[in-house]
């Protein structure tokens, strides 16, 4: 089967203006600048292959300018002395502007990344605004403590008065992946700004458009110069940021492989790191699972955004008493999904982010088939040079096969039977990753026993991929360091200073 997609013209006035305004620039100290080296690269619509815009290819010189602007802004009174409530209002205003421009941002996101209009417009763009609202509320609630002390070697008649204060970590390099571009940027910008940090944001080279548009909106919201700088470019630009002495912290979301490189690069000045990395998340389906919930839920858990979700439920372990019925039902769910251009309102699933990513998914399936895996649904790329891959259900995948161990980052789920919960837990935990998992059962105690037994940062019960800014999100094992969201998400952007006085 092939799928031929025609280029889409932008519909909203805002997206049209943004895309026709000439090559994109870099945001440094609130000015839009051409890259020092004068180089650009194209960003394309993965569904049709049409060119959307030319992006500035920043070099290390541009990165140095952006870092200098961020460092300077840290000590400028406009930011350093801004009252906490004013910082909160600024974050809230950014959220309002995202919402006011939601149609345009959703259109840009879908054109650039491929995801369906519904996912962009009704999930990710509003969720990006919510990130800013959540952290807006924290800005005037960042508190130190007064602490009574026990050790008494101070001069007689004196006493110790000790307290802590909280300070911004400093300059943050925020580096994001291509799967949920605006949301990933918002998850870093909102807590960083709440804490009083300054930021150099490097979005993924495949999907930089909404970050650049957000930059325009942040300037419009009144962000002081240099507080957020946005530079576009490739992995080498990210590598330069992560090794740079002028950067105090790296907030990274992306692959475990690049996460490891960042750990190495950050050693020079021992940068603080938060690493939100890859996953190979299991779904455990118990014999009493509610089929009306579990089939659409597991299908959504793997196929949403064509499987390009860090927490995608790519391994289902299903009790053997319901295994055949489950595989048949899941294959039907996969078959119902309509593939097409994300801007077509009937489309459930858009393309993968690039033809290269579709090739990668196809290679996993070819290898799995050769090793004996069976295909219950999908298993094909929709055209030789297409970025579309059919939602795929695979059976008979052995524990040591590459498709069971590595992150495919495509719409592919392996379904395996189990006989007792201990076996299901052993399967679920048989991975280097520990990002997320789901448990499907109507029995409260087995739900919570399984949740306790799974080594992962998030466990969902009777749902998969539910996010909200209040909920900490992070990876155990090789899925990362630290947490985003919730009060813990803010901690990553703050230092503690202890002040101890003899009075
Ligand atoms: P990637 O690691 O290839 O790239 C991510 C970002 O890092 C890009 O901006 C890229 O330019 C940059 N980069 C590349 N090499 C670099 C280097 N040496 N130093 C610094 N930066 C460098 O990831 P991707 O392919 O864009 O995204 C997919 C990956 O992201 C998947 O593994 C997915 O699981 C992960 N992800 C994780 C989460 C999470 O919250 N845990 C969320 C979304 C995506």
String of DSSP letters for 169-195:
--EEEEE--SSSHHHHHHHHHHHHHHH
Please write the tens of the pLDDT for every residue from 25-57.
999 999 999 999 999 999 999 999 999 999 999
| Closest ligand 1 atom, residue 479 Cα | 41
Going from the C-alpha of 91 to that of each of 81, 203, 228, the distances in angstroms are 16, 20, 12
Identify the residue whose C-alpha is closest to ligand 1 atom 9. 204
Residue 160 — pLDDT band, cuts 50, 70, 90?
very high
Residue 9 CB coordination number (10 Å): 11
Testing ligand 1's pocket by substitution, the residue of 46, 174, 258, 353 carrying the most ligand atoms inside 8 A of its CB is: 258
The strands making up 228-230's β-sheet, listed across from edge to edge, are 31-33, 26-28, 228-230, 198-202, 171-175, 249-253, 272-276, 480-481
- Distance between Cα 85 and ligand 1 center (Å): 34
For the chain, give the longest Cα–Cα distance: 87
Residue 2 — pLDDT band, cuts 50, 70, 90?
confident
The rounded percent of the chain whose pLDDT value lies above 70 is 100
Among residues 234, 160, 178, which one has the least CA distance to residue 498?
A: 160
CA 118 to chain centre: 18
Please, are residues 254 and 435 in contact by the beta-carbon 8 Å criterion?
A: no
347, pLDDT greater than 80: yes
Residue 3 — pLDDT band, cuts 50, 70, 90?
confident
- Distance between Cα 140 and ligand 1 center (Å): 32
Q: Which domains does the chain show, CATH number per domain?
A: 15-277+481-499 (3.40.605.10), 282-465 (3.40.309.10)
Please give the DSSP secondary-structure letter assigned to residue 389.
B
481, pLDDT greater than 80: yes
Query: What is the torsion angle, in degrees rounded to the nearest 10, for the CA atoms of residue 36, residue 29, residue 185 and residue 64?
Result: 40
Please write the tens of the pLDDT for every residue from 400-439.
999 999 999 999 999 999 999 999 999 999 999 999 999 9
As a whole number of angstroms, the distance between CA 179 and CA 255 comes to 11
The whole-number pLDDT of residue 383 equals 85
Please, are residues 159 and 500 in contact by the beta-carbon 8 Å criterion?
A: no
| Closest ligand 1 atom, residue 265 Cα | 19
- Which residues neighbour 448 within 8 Å (Cβ) at sequence distance 6 or greater? 461
Going from the C-alpha of 339 to that of each of 4, 44, 296, 411, 495, the distances in angstroms are 11, 19, 17, 12, 47
Total length of the chain = 503
Please write the tens of the pLDDT for every residue from 265-291.
999 999 999 999 999 999 999 999 999
Active site residues: 276, 310
- Distance between Cα 370 and ligand 1 center (Å): 29
Identify the residue whose C-alpha is closest to ligand 1 atom 16. 235
As a whole number of angstroms, the distance between CA 16 and CA 476 comes to 42
Residue ranges of alpha helices (H) inside 342-387 are 355-370
1, pLDDT greater than 80: no
How many CA atoms lie within 13 Å of 239's alpha carbon, on the beta-carbon side?
A: 8
Please, are residues 387 and 150 in contact by the beta-carbon 8 Å criterion?
A: no
Residue at token pair 């040079």: 385
For residue 196, what are its two tokens?
């009083």
477, pLDDT greater than 80: yes
| Closest ligand 1 atom, residue 254 Cα | 30
200, pLDDT greater than 90: yes
Please write the tens of the pLDDT for every residue from 93-131.
999 999 999 999 999 999 999 999 999 999 999 999 999
Testing ligand 1's pocket by substitution, the residue of 254, 257, 281, 352 carrying the most ligand atoms inside 8 A of its CB is: 254
Testing ligand 1's pocket by substitution, the residue of 255, 361, 458 carrying the most ligand atoms inside 8 A of its CB is: 255
Residue 367 — pLDDT band, cuts 50, 70, 90?
very high
Query: What is the torsion angle, in degrees rounded to the nearest 10, for the CA atoms of residue 102, residue 141, residue 187 and residue 116?
Result: -30
- Distance between Cα 89 and ligand 1 center (Å): 31
Please, are residues 266 and 241 in contact by the beta-carbon 8 Å criterion?
A: no
- Distance between Cα 257 and ligand 1 center (Å): 8
As a whole number of angstroms, the distance between CA 301 and CA 408 comes to 14
Please write the tens of the pLDDT for every residue from 207-227.
999 999 999 999 999 999 999
The binding-site residues of ligand 1, defined as CB within 6 angstroms of any ligand atom, are: 175-179, 202, 204-205, 234-235, 238-239, 242, 253-255, 258, 261-262, 276-279, 310, 407, 409, 435, 475, 480
As a whole number of angstroms, the distance between CA 198 and CA 79 comes to 9
The whole-number pLDDT of residue 129 equals 98
CB-based burial, 212-231: b 16+ in 10 Å, e otherwise = bbbbbbbbebebbbbbbbbb
For residue 393, what are its two tokens?
């259900």
């Amino acid at each position: 089967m092939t799928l031929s997609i025609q280029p889409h013209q932008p519909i909203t006035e805002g997206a049209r203006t943004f895309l026709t305004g000439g090559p994109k620039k870099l945001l440094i100290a609130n000015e839009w600048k051409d890259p020092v080296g004068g180089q650009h690269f194209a960003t394309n619509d993965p569904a049709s292959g049409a060119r959307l815009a030319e992006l500035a290819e920043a070099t290390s010189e541009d990165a140095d300018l952006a870092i200098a602007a961020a460092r300077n802004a840290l000590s400028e009174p406009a930011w350093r002395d801004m009252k906490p409530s004013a910082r909160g209002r600024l974050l809230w205003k950014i959220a309002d502007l995202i919402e006011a421009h939601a149609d345009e941002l959703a259109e840009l996101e879908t054109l650039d990344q491929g995801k369906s209009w519904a996912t962009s417009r009704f999930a990710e763009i509003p969720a990006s605004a919510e990130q800013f609202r959540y952290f807006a509320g924290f800005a005037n609630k960042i508190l130190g403590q007064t602490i009574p002390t026990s050790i008494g070697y101070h001069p007689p008649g004196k006493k110790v008065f000790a307290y802590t204060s909280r300070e911004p970590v400093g300059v943050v390099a925020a580096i994001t992946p291509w799967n949920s571009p605006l949301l990933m940027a918002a998850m870093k910008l909102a807590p960083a700004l709440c804490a009083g940090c300054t930021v150099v944001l490097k979005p993924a080279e495949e999907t930089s458009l909404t970050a650049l548009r957000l930059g325009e909106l942040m300037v419009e919201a009144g962000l002081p110069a240099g507080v957020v700088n946005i530079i576009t470019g490739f992995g080498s630009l990210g590598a330069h940021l992560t090794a740079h002495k002028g950067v105090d912290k790296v907030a990274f979301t992306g692959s475990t492989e690049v996460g490891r490189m960042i750990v190495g690069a950050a050693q020079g000045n021992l940068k603080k790191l938060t690493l939100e990395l890859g996953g190979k998340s299991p779904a455990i389906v118990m014999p009493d699972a509610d089929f009306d919930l579990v089939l659409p839920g597991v299908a959504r858990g793997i196929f949403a955004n064509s499987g390009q979700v860090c927490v995608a439920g790519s391994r289902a372990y299903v009790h053997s008493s319901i295994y055949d019925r489950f595989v048949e039902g899941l294959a039907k769910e996969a078959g119902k999904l309509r593939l097409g251009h994300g801007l077509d309102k009937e489309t459930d699933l858009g393309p993968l982010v690039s033809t290269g990513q579709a090739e990668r998914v196809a290679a996993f399936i070819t290898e799995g088939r050769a090793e004996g895996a069976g295909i219950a649904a999908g298993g094909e790329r929709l055209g030789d040079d297409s970025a579309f891959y059919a939602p795929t259900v695979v059976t008979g995948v052995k524990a040591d096969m590459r498709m069971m161990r590595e992150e495919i980052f495509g719409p592919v789920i392996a379904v395996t039977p189990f006989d007792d919960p201990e076996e299901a837990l052993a399967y679920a935990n048989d991975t280097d990753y520990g990002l997320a998992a789901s448990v499907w059962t109507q029995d409260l105690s087995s739900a919570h026993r399984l949740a306790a037994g799974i080594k992962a940062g998030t466990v969902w019960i009777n749902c998969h991929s539910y996010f909200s800014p209040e909920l900490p999100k992070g990876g155990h094992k090789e899925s990362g360091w630290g947490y985003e969201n919730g009060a813990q998400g803010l901690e990553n952007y703050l230092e503690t200073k202890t002040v101890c006085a003899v009075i």
